[in-house]
């Protein structure tokens, strides 16, 4: 991560080009650790942010290395866990923000 902003991750490709991403979260799926990154500056203003799912592996020197999964099922599993995480965070945010003026029967505005 960048020393200036710990939420910024700089990645260098095989050609030596450096790209900056925003750190979103880390998660464990099937015993492996993954990081989720989003583009710091989207390539196209009309498009939504693109997410990058990377598996964290240790090099022989003990340094974290981010690897792009090449197995479509692995990518799908990580994506599904991220979607579930995002929905949970969104619901918690709604619960935290929307209970002003509720009556005794408030159930936290969750779906039943």
Q: What is the DSSP string of the chain?
A: --SS-TTEEEEE-TTS-EEEEEEEEEEEETTEEEEEEEESS-SSTTSPPPEEEEEEEE-TTS-EEEE----HHHHHHHHHHHHHHHHHHHHHHHHHHS-TT--TT--TT---
Give per-residue pLDDT as tens, 57-103.
999 999 999 999 999 999 999 999 999 998 988 888 766 555 555 55
Give per-residue pLDDT as tens, 14-31.
899 988 999 999 999 999
């Amino acid at each position: 991560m960048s020393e200036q902003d710990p939420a910024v991750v700089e990645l260098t490709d095989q050609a030596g080009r450096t790209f900056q991403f925003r750190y979103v979260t880390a998660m464990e799926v099937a015993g492996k650790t993954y990081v989720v990154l989003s583009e710091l500056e989207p390539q196209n203003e009309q498009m939504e942010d693109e997410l990058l799912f990377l598996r964290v592996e240790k090099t022989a020197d003990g340094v974290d290395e981010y690897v792009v999964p090449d197995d479509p099922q692995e990518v799908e599993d990580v994506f599904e866990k991220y979607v579930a995480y995002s929905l949970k965070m969104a619901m918690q945010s709604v619960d935290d923000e929307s209970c002003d003026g509720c009556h005794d029967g408030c159930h936290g505005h969750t779906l039943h």
